[in-house]
Chains A and B, each alone.
Chain A
């Protein structure tokens, strides 16, 4: 058998336990070890990426989702760290009516991704005085991630993380957003209201501070809009969410 054929047979054995492939490869006991290693490693990877989700839904249920994910998503990336990237898709398919779980999974994945994202080199605070704000394009930190939020997933994740009493999942009175980023070496998570979510999404899309001010003025009126833009900017700068301007 040519090497490429042997390797495709091995893939078939690992991903679908193909008996035809196994018969061509031989040595049943050895194949079983590799099959077990393959699946155990992927389950372990998902457990490490989503520890709080696992606690939330329970070990048996987490294993059921993991097995479904492994059966439908063979790994492709060279790094095992990426294997959990699509887990939210499987979770959404098995729990279509649980936005709380979708958001909790997003939180864990976003924080893990932020932990090893590219380092930021924030502009010193005194350098911001020289920025031409009418023309400035603001740059978010490389670790920044954002999504819409409709549940109290941030509160649930924080309680699980701190091993406090975990609240029941609940819908937010007003939908907002979740942001994750890294400041220094520490990943951070914050729930934001709809206005800040939209402001950050706009900034992520085009980076223009002038356009951001325009959007806020249209929403809040001239005085409140400009004041809000200033307040948001100050907060983003002080938390290293925005790191640079060009």
Chain B
């Protein structure tokens, strides 16, 4: 994983806020856009993205690569993403550890994978192809899921093996960890301890909803207290990361999201201070010895 280390705070750019970003100096270190919204031939979307790129670093976050498809990746998709990435020179190019497509059918949803050796082989082969075509390492996001298949490893073991074999990085969605941990009854802290922390380059923070039987990853509400607490814990384990608030539905005024981002900055500052104090303590002990 050779992606340049970047530490900062950003927002998912949504069309409701285009004007804010184009007409004012929004206090973010980067923005993230949904890649597919800009993988178009031309017109206003690409024009706006070029203007935004002149003002902010941009991360490209995809939803349609379908890295877990048993029958491989679509070359037209990869080529379209490559053209966009070459033009935008993004901070990161990311997608999800999931699958959407099989045999010409595309669900347009992030469907779960079984965590088996066979699935790991498929995912790693697909990641190798994607990174080869794009000419850059990618990040993959841990999914939220409502269904778990009997596999041979945990999700975090799968992610760790995937990063080792492909050199890809991780986009850690803290809300997704919480949602899946509640839905499947595992320990979110064990998840954090199990992932390769040095591979995490970006963090997503988002809201969820309570469904009839399960937590649903709706991205339509503020970050919950449980997710903030998990984020604070994660920062004690991770190195420099880009943190982002992700809202996909019920988009509020920009100021509301910036307030959430301010909360993230505060937690990040506390974690850095704690880490520095901890490091200083270790140094003092070393010197005394």
Chain A interfacial positions (CB closer than 8 Å to B): 1-4, 6-8, 10-11, 14-15, 25-27, 29-31, 33-34, 37-38, 41-42, 45, 74-81, 83, 114-119, 142, 182, 185
Contact = CB atoms under 8 A, between A and B. Distances in A.
B108 A42 contact: yes
A11 B103 contact: yes
A119 B44 CA distance: 9
Given A8-B102, A34-B147, A75 B45 contact: no
Given A25-B149, A75-B107, 14 more contacts: A3-B70, A3-B113, A3-B122, A6-B114, A30-B148, A31-B146, A34-B147, A38-B108, A41-B108, A76-B106, A78-B77, A81-B40, A119-B43, A119-B46
Interface in B104-140: 104-109, 111, 113-114, 116, 118-119, 122
Given A34-B111, A42-B108, A185 B47 contact: yes
6 shortest interchain CB distances as A-B pairs: A30-B147, A119-B42, A30-B146, A116-B40, A4-B70, A118-B41
Interface in B146-184: 146-149, 183
A27 B180 CA distance: 14
A interface majority secondary structure = helix
A132 to B, nearest CB: 29
A142 B41 CA distance: 10
B142 interface: no
B45 A27 contact: no
B225 interface: no
B14 interface: no
A87 to B, nearest CB: 15
Contacts of B122: 3
Contacts of A4: 70-71, 102
A216 B284 CA distance: 93
Contact of B149 (A6, A37, A182): A6
B287 interface: no
B184 to A, nearest CB: 9
B23 interface: no
A185 B43 contact: yes
Given A116-B42, A117-B43, A79 B36 contact: yes
Interface in B51-96: 64, 66, 68-71, 74, 76-77
B118 A2 contact: yes
Interface residues of B, number: 47
Nearest to A119: B42
Interface of B: 36, 39-47, 64, 66, 68-71, 74, 76-77, 99, 101-109, 111, 113-114, 116, 118-119, 122, 145-149, 183, 211-214, 216
Nearest to B48: A185
Nearest to B71: A4
A74 B42 contact: no
Contacts of B105: 11, 15, 74-76
Contacts of A45: 108
A29 B42 contact: no
A213 B77 CA distance: 42
A29 B109 contact: no
A4 B213 CA distance: 28
A19 to B, nearest CB: 16
A30 B47 contact: no
Contacts of B101: 78
Contacts of A77: 106
A3 B41 contact: no
B44 A115 contact: yes
Contacts of A3: 68, 70, 113-114, 116, 118-119, 122
Given A11-B103, A76-B104, A34 B146 contact: yes
B106 A182 contact: no
A26 B74 contact: no
B114 A38 contact: no
B102 A14 contact: no
Nearest to A184: B44
B111 A10 contact: yes
Contacts of B64: 78-79
Given A7-B69, A10-B111, A76-B106, A30 B42 contact: no
B41 A29 contact: no
A48 B111 CA distance: 23
A81 B108 CA distance: 11
A75 B47 CA distance: 28
Contacts of B40: 81, 116
A29 B105 CA distance: 23
A7 B123 CA distance: 14
